[in-house]
Amino acid sequence: MMPLPTRRQLVQVSAALWLPATLRAADELVIGQSITLQGGKNAYGSDVLAGVRVLLDAVNREGGVNGRRLALRTLDDDNRADEAEANARRLVAEGALLLFGSIEGGPSGAVMKAAVETGTPFFGPMAGSPGLRRPFQPLVFPVRAEHRDEFRALIQYGVGTGLKRVALFHADSDTGRQHLDNVRLLAEQARMGFGGGAAFQGDVSDAQLDAVAAALAGRQVDLVLNHGSPGVYERLIRRARAAGHRTSFWGVNSGSSPMAAALGPLARGMVFAQIVPSPFARKTALTREYQARWRATSVDTPFSYGSLEGYMTAKALVSALRAAGPAPTRTSLLKGLQDFETDLGGVQLRYRGTEHDGSRFVDLAMVGSDGRFIQ
């Protein structure tokens, strides 16, 4: 079997599919994607893109959507909001039918801004930011559950296991403060104590992280959740453990696999919310289909949460395009999604009028003694 392409090759292949508007085949549907790859250094983004390509390639081999081939153009935004917005505007100007499949909150919000200002549908942003859903955005169609749903599941599990007080370690941003408000409300609903928030910036020092860990322990916080850089959260966990703090540090799906791998034994027992079923199990039709197509492409590349999220989001996109009629336009796509519901194989997706929540699927996964996720 042919090996799966490298991360750099994925971007090159995607770019090679893009032709000037005058040369594109009339039977193609062009999908524009700005995604955080950081030149292949962003492992989650690279996994997501690989999963997207496996699904789209399979659909194209089977005849495309109503006989029309799906042509994906991918640009790397390097996890920069300004670059993501510029990419989105370029993709729209060069003829993309819609925008699709960003990751990370800042770049996704920037793509949304370009989508709204150009009147272009934005399907499947793979970020949990509340701003993608509230206030209601008629052109934005998230697939994955938002971070609020993940926080709710983690807090409820924490209550069930006897934890008493939760706090949020969050980016020092408007989005981070929105997440803090959500955690406060969710803790109140679950009758769990709320220990406040701890904001951080990208250049936070080890000494500042030591102070954060000590302050959380002083507030008798026994559960910390996070929003923001997984790398900074990893550093906080290491500093807290070195100081002897026994606080439980749990997380949302973003960066869960790289964080667990980087922490090694320190990750054992950590609980992460996941917005897709386990990619390692065969409990849903979605994962069985994903595994079969993934293995048909590569025997050696392991399954991952990122590639399954990309695969699932691309599958949702194909369903949406089919709902847009035999010759999809932006108008027909929006019309087809006004009252839309589909089963992705164990994950339900739903859009109605002024509700674009997408999926509400959240599961929990614990890092086992061997470093693998137990879900």
3-class DSSP state of 250: coil
List pLDDT tens digits, range 312-369. Answer: 999 999 999 999 999 999 999 999 999 999 999 999 999 999 999 999 999 999 999 9
Q: Are residues 307 and 288 in the same domain?
A: yes
Residue at which a domain ends, from 256, 274, 292? 274
Q: Are residues 46 and 84 in the same domain?
A: yes
Q: Are residues 137 and 151 in the same domain?
A: no
Q: Residue 373 falls within a domain, yes or no?
A: no
85 within 8 A of 111, measured Cβ to Cβ: yes
Q: Are residues 200 and 306 in the same domain?
A: no
The Cα 315–Cα 304 span in angstroms is 16
Q: pLDDT value at position 68?
A: 96
Does pLDDT of 2 surpass 60?
A: no
Q: Which of 191, 133, 139, 185 is nearest to 160 (CA)?
A: 191
Q: pLDDT value at position 297?
A: 87
Q: Residue 374 falls within a domain, yes or no?
A: no
Does pLDDT of 6 surpass 80?
A: no
Q: Are residues 139 and 153 in the same domain?
A: no
Which residues are CB-neighbours of 238 under 8 A, at least 6 positions away?
263, 266
Which of 10-14, 56-60, 290-294 is predicted least confidently? 10-14
Q: Are residues 158 and 131 in the same domain?
A: no
Q: Are residues 115 and 217 in the same domain?
A: no
Q: Are residues 296 and 314 in the same domain?
A: yes
> pLDDT band at 29, cuts 50/70/90?
very high
Does pLDDT of 21 surpass 50?
A: no
Q: pLDDT value at position 19?
A: 41
Q: pLDDT value at position 299?
A: 65
327 within 8 A of 230, measured Cβ to Cβ: no
Q: Residue 54 falls within a domain, yes or no?
A: yes
Could you identify the residue written with the tokens 């993608």? Answer: 132
Percentage of the chain modeled with pLDDT above 90: 86
For residue 166, the enclosing domain spans 147-274
In this structure, what is the dihedral angle of CA atoms 208, 210, 213, 219, given to the nearest 10 degrees? -80
List pLDDT tens digits, range 149-169. Answer: 999 999 999 999 999 999 999
Q: Are residues 106 and 193 in the same domain?
A: no
Q: Residue 375 falls within a domain, yes or no?
A: no
Tokens of 198: 């701890």
Q: Residue 366 falls within a domain, yes or no?
A: no
Q: Residue 371 falls within a domain, yes or no?
A: no
Q: Residue 218 falls within a domain, yes or no?
A: yes
3-class DSSP state of 123: strand
Tokens of 96: 């993309």
What is the maximal distance between C-alpha atoms in the chain?
65
Number of domains in the chain: 2
Mode of pairing for the β-strands spanning 98-100 and 271-274: unpaired
Does pLDDT of 22 surpass 80?
A: no
CA 145 to chain CA mean position, Å: 9
Does pLDDT of 9 surpass 60?
A: no
Q: What is the pTM for the complete model shown?
A: 0.91
Average pLDDT, the chain: 92
The Cα 267–Cα 237 span in angstroms is 9
Residue at which a domain ends, from 221, 240, 274? 274
Does pLDDT of 216 surpass 90?
A: yes
Q: Residue 370 falls within a domain, yes or no?
A: no
Residue at which a domain ends, from 222, 256, 274? 274
Q: What is the CATH number of the domain that holds 341?
A: 3.40.50.2300
List pLDDT tens digits, range 240-288. Answer: 999 999 999 999 998 899 899 999 999 999 999 999 999 999 999 999 9
The Cα 350–Cα 222 span in angstroms is 36
Q: Are residues 140 and 285 in the same domain?
A: yes
Q: Are residues 125 and 253 in the same domain?
A: no
Q: Are residues 23 and 41 in the same domain?
A: yes
List pLDDT tens digits, range 177-196. Answer: 999 999 999 999 999 999 99
The Cα 286–Cα 279 span in angstroms is 9
| Position 114, amino acid | A
Q: pLDDT value at position 258?
A: 86
Arithmetic mean of pLDDT, 78-85: 96
Q: pLDDT value at position 26?
A: 66
